Amino acid sequence: MGWSARQGLTTATGVVVAVLAALLLGLQDPWWSAISAWVVAGPDRHMMLAKAMQRVMGTLLGLAAGLVLATLSNGQPALLLVALFCVGAVGTRARYVAAAPYAWLLGAVTATMVLVQAAVAPAGLFDFAANRSAEIITGVICAASVAVVIMPTARAAPGAAAPVLSERELSAVTLIGGLVLVAVVLLWQRFDLPQPVQMAISALVVLDRDLGALRHRGRQRVVGCLLGGAFGLGAMMLGGASLVLWLGVLGLGLFLFSVLHHGGGPSAYVGTQGGLAVIITLVAGRGPPASILPVVDRLAGATLGVLVLILTTTVVMQGMLQPHGLAGRQGGSRSGGSA
C-alpha cells in the first residue's frame, strides 16, 4: 500500500495534536510525544492501533524493568553495564523471535533510556522515567485517536514476512544488541560525547542483522537527518513566535516527509528519519525553538549512535559469521571438486 494524501494528513495531524496535548498537560519534553506519534503511524487503522498498543505495553514494562535494574545497580557502575548488556541482548533477541516484536523493542528502548540516564544523572531518575513515559503514551494516544477519526477502516495488504534468522545469526545480533549499549556508555564516559541517551536509543533502533542493510540504513538515517534538519533550520530562520505558524510549519514538514515514510520504496527510511529530524529541530521545548545548539546536540547524538553500532556490528559479524561462511564455502568447493 503506497502513500496517500489522507495518510499523510493523518500522520501530520497526529503529531501536531500530540504536541498540543503535551503542551496543555505541561509535559517536560513535548518532542517525545511528537516522535511517538510519528513512528507509531501506519498504513491503516488496524495496524496502527495494534502498533500503538504494543508501544504502550512495551513502554510501561520497560519503565518498570529499567527502574528496578537501576535501583539494584545504584552506585555500582560495573553492575549497571551488565544490566544494560542484558536489556540490549534480551530485547534484541526477542525482537526477532517473539510474538510481539515491537513491544519488546520499545521495552528495551525504554529500559535503556532509564539505565543510561542512571549513568548520566541518577538524581531525579524516577521523575525522568515518569516524564518520558507520560510523553510517549500521550503521543501514542493522540496519534491513535486521530487515526480513528480520519483513516479509513479498510485493512492494508500484509507485508512480506521477515526472513528467519539462523541460530548463529541470532546469537550474533543478540551479542551486538548488548555490546553496543555498553560501548555507548563507555565511550561517553571516556570522551564526554553529547546526548548519550539519544546515542543508545539510535543504536538499538537502527540495529539490523545484516551488516550491509545496517550500513544502508545508517546512510539513510544520516541523509534523512540532514534533509529534515535543513527543513527545520530553514523554518527557524524564517522566525516567528506564533503558535499557529510554528505548528503549521511542523505539520507541513511531516506531511512532505510522510511521502517517503509511508511510500514503501527503497528510500522509506530517509522519510522516517527526515520526519524525526523535523521534530527534533522544531520541537525543542515548550514553544518555537530559540537556539540551534540543542538541535545540533540531538542530531549529533543520533549520528554517533549509528556509528558506534556499525563499528560494533562489524567487529562481531567478522568474529562470529565470516569464518563460518568461509568454512562453508571451502567445504562446498571441495565437494564440488570431488563430484
In a domain, 339, yes or no: no
Report the pLDDT value the prediction gives residue 215, as an integer from 0 to 100: 77
Domain containing residue 224:
5-152+168-325
In a domain, 235, yes or no: yes
Number of domains, the chain: 1
Report the pLDDT value the prediction gives residue 70, as an integer from 0 to 100: 96
Report the pLDDT value the prediction gives residue 327, as an integer from 0 to 100: 43
In a domain, 291, yes or no: yes
Q: Give exposure, 213-246, as e/b (b: 16+ Cβ within 10 Å).
A: ebeebbebbbbbbbbbbebbbebbeeeeeeeeeb
Report the pLDDT value the prediction gives residue 323, as an integer from 0 to 100: 52
Q: Which residues of the chain have pLDDT under 70?
A: 1-3, 152-163, 209-211, 239-241, 321-339
In a domain, 295, yes or no: yes
Report the pLDDT value the prediction gives residue 158, as an integer from 0 to 100: 53
Report the pLDDT value the prediction gives residue 219, as an integer from 0 to 100: 83
In a domain, 289, yes or no: yes
In a domain, 332, yes or no: no
Report the pLDDT value the prediction gives residue 206, as an integer from 0 to 100: 85
Other beta carbons less than 10 A from residue 171's beta carbon: 16
Report the pLDDT value the prediction gives residue 150, as an integer from 0 to 100: 86
Do residues 136 and 85 touch, judged by C-beta distance below 8 A? no
How far is residue 248 from each of residues 49, 140, 217, 255, 289, measured CA to CA in Å?
25, 20, 29, 10, 14
Report the pLDDT value the prediction gives residue 141, as an integer from 0 to 100: 94
Query: Rounded to an integer, what distance in angstroms lies between the CA atom of residue 62 and that of residue 80?
Result: 15
In a domain, 161, yes or no: no
pTM given for the model: 0.86
Determine the length of the chain.
Answer: 339
Report the pLDDT value the prediction gives residue 239, as an integer from 0 to 100: 64
